Amino acid sequence: MNTTAPHTPRHRAEAAARPADGPAVRVVVVIPAHDEEQALPATVASLAAQTRRPDRVLVVSDNSTDATVAVARAAGADVMETVGNTARKAGALNQAIATTTEDVVMVLDADTTIAPTFVEEGLAVLASEPEVAAVGGVFRGRPPQGYLQHCQANEYTRYGVQVDLTGRTAVLTGTAALVRRTALQEVADARGSVLPGERGDVYDRHAITEDSELTLALRTLGHELRSPVTMSCTTELMPTAGDLHRQRVRWYKGMLDNLAEYGLTRTTWRYVGQQVMLAVGTLMMAAYLLLTVVTLVTGTFTLSPLWAAVGLVFVAERLVTVWGAGRRARLLAALVLPELLYDLALQRAFLHAAALFVTRRQTTWNHVAATA
């Protein structure tokens, strides 16, 4: 007679939470929040719906001027408020993590919800792969409204396809990720010597993109990272072109700053190469558009079979990589021009970020109020 317990979600979650020779792993979810009263209820609810619920949910309110604290408490989360924090998200996370003792720290953005098996799957990876220090999600956007958000949604869909095909985690996303406490302690101990920043800080308080900086820190210390595509997290899409531009300038400038801080190493060379290729791609796109305009104006434009074939391959790739996202996503990809204009907007943001980097000017943090 078979006496083996059925593999229900509960049993899988318990197995993921308990190493083969030790007690159950304890998980704390830290949610940094600044004026997030609208988004928090859905975020905390997605944690309550987990097949393996976290042991504690801690919302750290950073200089909120709305009802963030009251809403978080009403949702059932523990709440703390930052004291004298001038380092924005990184500073809030440092203060919150310092108050926790759990084995695994999950950092979750206040405007992000996660798939029901997110925590369970992340713990399973950490339990089965000792060399992995952190497991991040693959993010996607909320249901898009309008042209700009549909372009963002397609962009995120393609990123998920890329992660699935390559199996490589470029950046441990700051929207939702589980990290071993031992790895975080290693980072804190290495700050000011092997790693940039102040000794004792988990997150570099000077970094404007704390997730990409932590990625470099963990990899510099020899740790592996994972981002299973089934660990999806859903976050806000930028509502306006201005918001999108400011977001991407911060992302691009943050990575450039981080790479300059770390220098060229065995860890960073791949990331430096990505930035170089991004710059080359931007210049090539500009040159291509300029050449096209000149030939059209002068009446010398011709379409060779070779370039027609290249164009068809390009369109096919754009279409296939969003096929699973639905009819509207496929239609947008098939039209080509709308997404090319979106790509130009991203390249403009990169050029802006590069100019700020070269001139050593700072960029601003763009907070977009979430909708319920």
Taking only the tens place, the pLDDT of each residue in 243-300 is 999 999 999 999 999 999 999 999 999 989 988 887 887 777 777 778 778 888 888 8
Identify the residue with better confidence: 336 or 20.
336
Report yes or no on 131 lying in a domain: yes
Q: The CATH number of the domain where 185 resides is what?
A: 3.90.550.10
Average pLDDT for 337-366: 90
Query: For the chain, how many structural domains are there in total?
Result: 2
Boundaries of domain holding 144: 27-237
* Own/partner pairs, 61-64, CB within 8 angstroms, 24+ separation: 61/33, 61/34, 62/32, 62/33, 62/34, 62/88, 62/89, 62/91, 62/92, 63/34, 64/33, 64/34, 64/35, 64/36, 64/37
Report yes or no on 96 lying in a domain: yes
Determine which of 12-26, 113-127, 300-314 has the lowest per-residue pLDDT on average.
12-26
**Confidence band of 8 (pLDDT split at 50, 70, 90):** very low
Residue 335 CA: distances (Å) to CA of 143, 281, 305, 326, 332: 20, 21, 20, 15, 5
Domain boundary among 221, 237, 253: 237
Please tell me what DSSP assigns to residue 324: G
What's the pTM? 0.87
Is 233 in the same domain as 299?
Answer: no
Is 77 in the same domain as 169?
Answer: yes
Mean pLDDT of the chain: 90
Identify the residue with better confidence: 210 or 314.
210
Average pLDDT for 46-50: 98
Is 230 in the same domain as 95?
Answer: yes
Is 292 in the same domain as 212?
Answer: no
Report yes or no on 250 lying in a domain: no
Is 282 in the same domain as 179?
Answer: no
Of these ranges, 126-140, 160-174, 304-318, the one predicted with the greatest mean pLDDT is 126-140
Report yes or no on 337 lying in a domain: yes
Is 228 in the same domain as 321?
Answer: no
Is 121 in the same domain as 68?
Answer: yes
Is 170 in the same domain as 217?
Answer: yes
Report yes or no on 260 lying in a domain: no
Domain boundary among 214, 237, 260: 237
Determine which of 31-45, 120-134, 311-325 has the lowest per-residue pLDDT on average.
311-325
Q: Please state, in angstroms and rounded to a whole number, the distance separating the CA atoms of residues 343 and 351.
A: 12
Residue 189 in this model has a pLDDT that exceeds 70: yes
Is 167 in the same domain as 278?
Answer: no
Is 274 in the same domain as 233?
Answer: no
**Confidence band of 367 (pLDDT split at 50, 70, 90):** low
Report yes or no on 10 lying in a domain: no
Domain boundary among 189, 220, 237: 237
Report yes or no on 263 lying in a domain: no
Is 152 in the same domain as 296?
Answer: no
- Extract the runs of DSSP E, i.e. beta strands, from the chain: 27-33, 56-61, 78-81, 104-108, 113-114, 132-136, 138-141, 176-180, 224-226, 232-235
Percent pLDDT > 70 in the chain is 91
Residue 18 in this model has a pLDDT that exceeds 60: no
Residue 80 in this model has a pLDDT that exceeds 50: yes
Report yes or no on 318 lying in a domain: yes
Write the Ramachandran bin of 350: left for phi over 0, alpha for psi from -120 to 50, otherwise beta.
alpha
Is 187 in the same domain as 89?
Answer: yes
Q: Please state, in angstroms and rounded to a whole number, the distance separating the CA atoms of residues 286 and 278.
A: 12
